[in-house]
Amino acid sequence: MDYETIICFETHVELKTKTKLFCNCLVKYGAPPNSQVCPVCTGQPGALPVLNKKAVDYSIRAGLALDCTINRRSQFARKNYFYPDLPKGYQISQYERPFCEDGYLEITGDDGLPYIVGIKRIHLEEDAGKLVHSSSTFKTSDYSLVDYNRSSIPLLEIVMDHERNPLRSVNEARVYLEKLRQILRYIEISDCMLEKGQFRCDVNVSIRPRGSQGFGNRVEIKNMSSFKYIMDALQYEIKRQSEVLEAHGNINQETRLFDEKKRITLAMRSKEDAPDYRYFPDPDLVEVDIDGEFIKNIQKNMPEMPDQRVNRIIEAYGIPKNEVLILTKNKNISDFFENCASFCNDRKRASSWIIKDLFKLLNDASIPVEKCLISPRDFSLLITFLSEGHVTDKIGRIVLEEMFKTGEGPDAIIEKRGLKPIDDSDTLEKILDEAISENPEVLAQIKMGMTKSINFLIGQMMKKTEGRANPKKVRELLHKRFRKVV
Ligand SMILES: [Zn+2]
């Protein structure tokens, strides 16, 4: 039978506020265990939470970016469950009235058309602490330690809507996650580093016979923090579920874990529902009344969204769309490009040098563009040198590499390393004579009309000058010398 897939995400995003959600402890990744804690975030009796305004600001920013309705009156609730990394025995979250509801995110679907994915709600909650087991798994560990540094870091949960355009394939799931992460980075509320646990997903997946209306039982795979693992887990789970249905079996509504080594999902427990958590309004926190001015102010300061930026860059600089999509994936890269564009006229060359050459250097050094020593002004100067033929592409790459290492300007590097192009006709003539006398057979070949030999001579001249011979001048010279043949 032919099945269709329904995928929905609940994405947890750690907000990059300076302090935690309900106390003044710093949000600091990699600090010594239990060094960023106080009575509030370790749940000591009598300690009272005070809401961090910045976290509310960030939640609303996310809501506006995803076209949600912002609830003017909102409330925190206690989600009751026991786990050693949750010292209060409950998590402060939002239940009945989250900050944001009914939004959407537009992606490009598998059919190449825009697809509007429904966002049900965005709520703010506190993160739990972190258990560190003495061995790789809980079962094989002699003991576990708990680090409360993460306890009460603001966590935004973005919940997709099952009933409004859920994702239909593993590929769309990937596109959704990438787009969501891109937007959250654009609005600068989280760095969304998966390896630091700042962007974690629970993913629901079910299948149903194609064309049917009802939903099959959902399986939830919890706490995924790598795009690759999410895709592997989904692929495995879709196959597993269709095999169960083919064999006339039942799919249990359950929570499963992804085994990263075996690349399979394993049943963990039957899925809990909201009543299991005995939500009730947190009596320690007053209801949050959000002022219209507060929302307006956030709206006014919202940065340009990625889709708008793509369209504007195409229009303003005439860069092909496939390149613009690469440039705008990361806000800092697009800022770098636009900075360069303000300094030089050859924007197409700037774009292609960023994508091909600068990206390679950044990747090899594993650093983000904002840590790169090259200033947009210097980068543009190099692009101008390339456009005007002051340096060849080959020399340009050498210069760029040096700029990347030292932060020096291209003019200084060219001067210091003697990389100025050789334009002078007499010098070039001499180099050509040398190349011919070292390879006397080429003359005969050229006379016989073998144009390949001309290219061979160009190559020899470039080699002798270490790429500094001005290629335009070299071609002119050869043309002049062998006019009758070429
Ligand atoms: Zn604290």
Task: Map 244-294 to HEC letters.
Answer: HHHCCCCCCCEEEEEECCCCEEEEEEECCCHHHHCCEECCCCCCEECCHHH
Q: What is the tens place of the pLDDT at every residue in 148-171?
A: 999 999 999 999 999 999 999 999
Alpha-carbon span 429 to 133, nearest angstrom: 73
Taking the centre of ligand 1 as the mean of its atom positions, its distance from the CA of residue 274, in whole angstroms, is: 28
Taking residues 59-88, report their average pLDDT. Answer: 95
Closest C-alpha to 469, from 391, 358, 408: 391
Of 8-22, 93-107, 385-399, the range with the lowest mean pLDDT is 385-399
Is 90 exceeded by the pLDDT of residue 8? Answer: yes
Percent of the chain with pLDDT over 90: 72
Is 70 exceeded by the pLDDT of residue 239? Answer: yes
Tell me the pLDDT of the chain averaged across its residues: 92
Taking residues 119-140, report their average pLDDT. Answer: 91
DSSP 375: -
Taking the centre of ligand 1 as the mean of its atom positions, its distance from the CA of residue 36, in whole angstroms, is: 7
Taking the centre of ligand 1 as the mean of its atom positions, its distance from the CA of residue 46, in whole angstroms, is: 14
- C-beta of residue 464 within 8 angstroms of C-beta of residue 471: no
Is 90 exceeded by the pLDDT of residue 88? Answer: yes
Residue 90, strand partner residues: 80
Q: Which two tokens stand for residue 126?
A: 């506190």
Alpha-carbon span 158 to 286, nearest angstrom: 23
Q: Which two tokens stand for residue 384?
A: 């101008």
Helices and strands (H, E) in the chain, number of each type: 16, 16
Band (pLDDT 50/70/90 cuts) for residue 120 is: very high
Residue 223, strand partner residues: none
- pLDDT of res. 274: 67
Percent of the chain with pLDDT over 70: 98
Band (pLDDT 50/70/90 cuts) for residue 272 is: low
Task: Tell me the three state secondary structure of residue 27.
Answer: coil
Alpha-carbon span 62 to 119, nearest angstrom: 11
Task: Tell me the three state secondary structure of residue 239.
Answer: helix
- C-beta of residue 434 within 8 angstroms of C-beta of residue 464: yes
Q: Which amino acid is at 100?
A: C
Q: Which two tokens stand for residue 341?
A: 């564009």
Is 50 exceeded by the pLDDT of residue 364? Answer: yes
Neighbours of 317 (CB within 10 A): 17
Is 90 exceeded by the pLDDT of residue 483? Answer: no
Alpha-carbon span 254 to 217, nearest angstrom: 9
Band (pLDDT 50/70/90 cuts) for residue 486 is: very low
- pLDDT of res. 271: 66
- pLDDT of res. 450: 73
Q: How far is CA 156 from CA 57, 189, 210, 449, in A?
A: 12, 10, 34, 71
Is 90 exceeded by the pLDDT of residue 459? Answer: no
Alpha-carbon span 205 to 234, nearest angstrom: 7
Taking the centre of ligand 1 as the mean of its atom positions, its distance from the CA of residue 29, in whole angstroms, is: 14
Taking the centre of ligand 1 as the mean of its atom positions, its distance from the CA of residue 26, in whole angstroms, is: 8
Neighbouring residues of the ion ligand 1, judged by CB less than 5 Å: 23, 25, 38, 40-41
Give the dihedral sign, CA 270/275/281/284.
negative
Task: Tell me the three state secondary structure of residue 326.
Answer: helix
Taking the centre of ligand 1 as the mean of its atom positions, its distance from the CA of residue 20, in whole angstroms, is: 7
- C-beta of residue 339 within 8 angstroms of C-beta of residue 372: no
Q: Which amino acid is at 404?
A: F
- C-beta of residue 465 within 8 angstroms of C-beta of residue 431: yes
- C-beta of residue 84 within 8 angstroms of C-beta of residue 144: yes
Give DSSP secondary structure letters for 187-201.
Answer: TTS----GGGTSEEE
Tokens 């064309």 -> residue: 211
Alpha-carbon span 69 to 120, nearest angstrom: 10
Taking the centre of ligand 1 as the mean of its atom positions, its distance from the CA of residue 284, in whole angstroms, is: 16
Closest C-alpha to 175, from 99, 218, 117: 117
pTM assigned to the model: 0.85
- C-beta of residue 292 within 8 angstroms of C-beta of residue 87: no
- C-beta of residue 35 within 8 angstroms of C-beta of residue 25: no
Task: Tell me the three state secondary structure of residue 306.
Answer: helix
Is 60 exceeded by the pLDDT of residue 124? Answer: yes
**Neighbour-count burial for 193-228, b at 16+ CB within 10 Å, e otherwise:** ebeebbbbbbbbbbbbeeeeeeebebbbbbebbebe
Residue 13, strand partner residues: 156, 199
Is 50 exceeded by the pLDDT of residue 217? Answer: yes
Give the dihedral sign, CA 285/291/294/299.
positive
- C-beta of residue 183 within 8 angstroms of C-beta of residue 66: yes
Of 195-199, 221-225, 388-392, 449-453, the range with the lowest mean pLDDT is 449-453
The bridge status of strand 254-259 relative to strand 219-224 is: parallel
Taking the centre of ligand 1 as the mean of its atom positions, its distance from the CA of residue 91, in whole angstroms, is: 14
Taking the centre of ligand 1 as the mean of its atom positions, its distance from the CA of residue 200, in whole angstroms, is: 22
Taking residues 339-352, report their average pLDDT. Answer: 94
Taking the centre of ligand 1 as the mean of its atom positions, its distance from the CA of residue 195, in whole angstroms, is: 24
